[in-house]
Amino acid sequence: MRTTARSALNLGLLGLAAALAALVYWEPGVETPAEPPKLTALAPAGIEHVVIRPQRGDEIRLDKDQGVWMMRAPVATYANEFRIDALLGIARADSRARFDAVALDLVKFGLDPPLSVLRLDDVELAFGDSEPLDNRRYVRNGAAVHLIDDEYFYRLQTGFTAFVSNRLLPPSGAPAAIRLPEFGVTRVDGKWSLAPAPEPPPADALNEFVDAWRQAQAVQVDRYAGEAARGAITVSFEGGAAPLEFLLLETEPELVLARADLGLRYHLTAEQARRLLSAPTSAAAE
């Protein structure tokens, strides 16, 4: 009987605890705030085409090709996926207020003409002024003008180089040879070799050198204005893909390489310069 009574008491206490927890969770009399409406109905992960017409500068065209973002204009190259993902968050931005575009004087809101335009697939977003009270941006989507938090407009003003991939080499494609002004490494029968080489370096050193090139990413990409080069570096690929040529512009205090065909410069650190420009040796593998 004692066991039964104690079990009943425990069950009663558990029931009371559950009731109190439900009371705290549901808070009777307090309604859960509704989810704010979104700027668009698009899912960021499903967007495949982006056009940016900034306030100043070049129009930027980006396409997702088999899951990889590519820049189509103003240059054709791989795109910076991190920057694009950050920008696409605007598709689900909270609309803090919504107005009928027909009822507004669009000129007064900086929407006629707009300051910048962003096209996501078939949805065109026109950016106007920001309102001074909460620093939110007027954005037109079709027949509606929305107020959204102002974190996206300035992403559109960074210039096209901000949307260029920081990688020196394409993510796909296997290097077959890397030729620098003073030496080169070549893959023959599945093995890398260095020439000239008074003493052949170990395979680990050669693989480390090639991996440094495969993984190299610039800390900054900007425009190349035709500066004189100290030499050239050529990377060839297996399978017949066109080789890439990098112009060697600077080695100190940073490494600066240029792609004349794209009109771009890649800025890398001094440590990256050591790894990318130094011939593989036995010491490199230690």
Please list the rounded mean pLDDT of every run of 10 residues in the chain (286 residues): 47 47 47 80 98 94 96 97 97 97 96 97 98 94 97 94 97 93 95 92 96 97 97 95 96 97 98 96 57
* Domain final residue, candidates 163, 188, 205: 163
Is 15 inside a domain boundary? Answer: no
Does a structural domain hold residue 267? yes
CATH number of the structural domain spanning residue 216: 2.60.40
- Per-residue pLDDT, 185: 98
Please report whether residue 9 resides in a domain. Answer: no
Residue 168 lies in a domain: no
CA pair distance 175, 172, nearest whole angstrom = 10
Residues 78 and 69 sit within 8 Å (Cβ to Cβ):
yes
127 shares a domain with 79:
yes
Which range of residues forms the domain containing residue 217? 175-285
- 121 and 59 in one domain? yes
Task: Kindly state whether residue 279 falls inside one of the protein's structural domains.
Answer: yes
Does residue 128 belong to any structural domain of this protein? yes
- The H or E element containing residue 73 is strand 68-73
Total structural domains within the chain: 2
| pLDDT (0 to 100) of residue 115 | 97
The pLDDT assigned to 122 comes to 98
| Contact between 157 and 116 (Cβ < 8 Å) | yes
Collapse the DSSP code of 156 into the 3-class scheme (helix H, G, I; strand E, B; otherwise coil) and give the result.
Answer: helix
**Tell me, what DSSP letter sits at residue 252?**
S
Would you say residue 57 lies in a domain? yes
Check whether residue 182 and residue 159 sit in a common domain.
Answer: no
**Phi and psi for 82 in degrees, rounded to 5?**
-65, -45
Q: What 3-state class would DSSP assign to 86?
A: helix
In a domain, 90, yes or no: yes
Same domain for 50 and 153, yes or no, is yes
Residue 175, both tokens = 């290097």
